[in-house]
Structure 1
Amino acid sequence: MLLAILIPWLSFFINGKIIRGIVCLILQITIIGWIPAAIWALSSRNSSKMDKKLKQMEKKIIASNISNSKG
């Protein structure tokens, strides 16, 4: 989370979002743009975490349904 606040563009690069990282870097070059860039990086990070959790839950539900239908 600290990385997303201090170096927002690097947070995007680490997550594999190169184009967004470049746009964020351009936005971050200005002092005024740093705050929106940091907020954008934090929200993107949180969204990415939520997507991973939802996929894990979906897999568990599917696995549960398959095991219940066999039994």
Structure 2
Amino acid sequence: MVMIIICILAPWLAMFLRGKVLQGILCILLHITLIGWIPATIWALVVTRRESAA
């Protein structure tokens, strides 16, 4: 539940916490733009769900 909140508020932080530094940096670049915030959030949620399921 906490990870979902992190994905919504700071998707780049969720990527960094999962150990995906390069994806986190790309996520920061997406998060900077208002239009890129939604895809960055969805991307972070998918990565987080995939990591927790494996």
Task: Give the one of 16, 20, 40 matched to 2:19.
Answer: 16
Separation (CA, whole Å) in 2 of partners of 1:2 and 1:45? 11
Partner of 1:26: 29
Paired residues, number: 51
Separation (CA, whole Å) in 1 of partners of 2:13 and 2:34? 17
TM-score between the two structures when normalised by the length of structure 1: 0.70
Q: Runs (4+) of structure 1 moved beyond 6 Å?
A: none
Partner of 1:42: 45
Offset, 1:45:
0.2
How big is the alpha-carbon RMSD for the aligned residues of Structure 1 and Structure 2? Answer: 0.4
Stretches of structure 1 lacking an aligned partner (at least 5 in a row): 52-71
Percent identity, aligned pairs only, is 47
Stretches of structure 2 lacking an aligned partner (at least 5 in a row): none
Offset, 1:10:
0.3
TM-score between the two structures when normalised by the length of structure 2: 0.92
Whose RCO is larger (CA < 8 A, sep 6+)?
2
Offset, 1:40:
0.2
Structure 1 letter corresponding to 2:52:
K
